Amino acid sequence: MARARLIDPHELERMMRDAAPLTVLDVRWRLDRPDGRADYEAGHIPGAVYVSLDDELAAHGAPEDGRHPLPDIADLQTAARRWGVDTGDTVVVYDDWQTFGAARAWWVLTDAGVPDVRVLDGGLGAWRDAGLPLESGPVHAARGDVALTPGHLPRLDIDEAAALPASGILFDVRAPERYRGDVEPMDPRAGHIPGAVNAPTGGNVDELGRFLSSEQLRERYAALGVTGDTTVGVSCGSGVSAAQAAFALSLAGVDAALYGGSWSQWANHPDRPVATGDRP
């Protein structure tokens, strides 16, 4: 299976300078500001194309499907060609908030068969810290020719997520207060999937938002119960921050399955049980 790959700002700048086959995607998205286009147009990495997570990296269905269902492959291919992705391109993705949007793009495009998708370590902040320039305004890329096929990464449906804790580990990567059920600002029920283990995404990165080393990530997840033969799944609120955890686990050498519906799907099925508190 394709392994996660990071790229640092200077390496990206060299690829841009050398005119390597490259597409750079700006996937700015936050829970409180899901449309990042205005921030993108105010300043972005030169040549980067804006990607709307809500509209292009997710489908729109019933509440029972969750808030960010994975996109249909035909719709994703149309979007990727609009972004200018050609067959053979290296695709670099970045954002400005905890690598959530970038990791969602990494997961979706890797699952769709794009072989070289890299995450800018530290995101836009790392680019700025490196003293590299920004440009403003939109970028309209020439139409790409990439052909996508789904199913290159493991995923879980709602029944598989329910069953996984009996034979492996399902990580719930939301903040502890949402995992416990103390608060629930987004979905109709509070708590977590019975048997899920809390592993907040903040533990995957340092204070600058850069990913921990592969060895540090292996140690983190080993302490949470992952061994060489453990079947691992990841869940969050709606399948966005869980992609960051899947990326981090891949850096650690672990192939984790993404539960795309996550809590936003589970909470909209009243027949599904709910656990609360600190224990799985």
- Tokens 């060489």, residue located: 228
| Whether residue 236 lies in the annotated active site | yes
Give the CB-side neighbour count of residue 43, counting CA atoms within 13 A.
Answer: 8
Q: Where are the alpha helices (DSSP H) in the chain?
A: 9-17, 37-42, 53-56, 73-82, 100-111, 123-129, 158-163, 176-180, 214-223, 241-251, 262-266
Distance (Å, whole) CA 191 – CA 176: 10
- Tokens 């399948």, residue located: 239
The residue annotated as part of the active site, out of 92, 236, 248, 251, is 236
Contacts of 264 (CB under 8 A, 6+ apart): 63, 66, 67, 68, 186, 187, 237, 238, 239
Other beta carbons less than 10 A from residue 81's beta carbon: 18
| Catalytic positions, written as ranges | 236
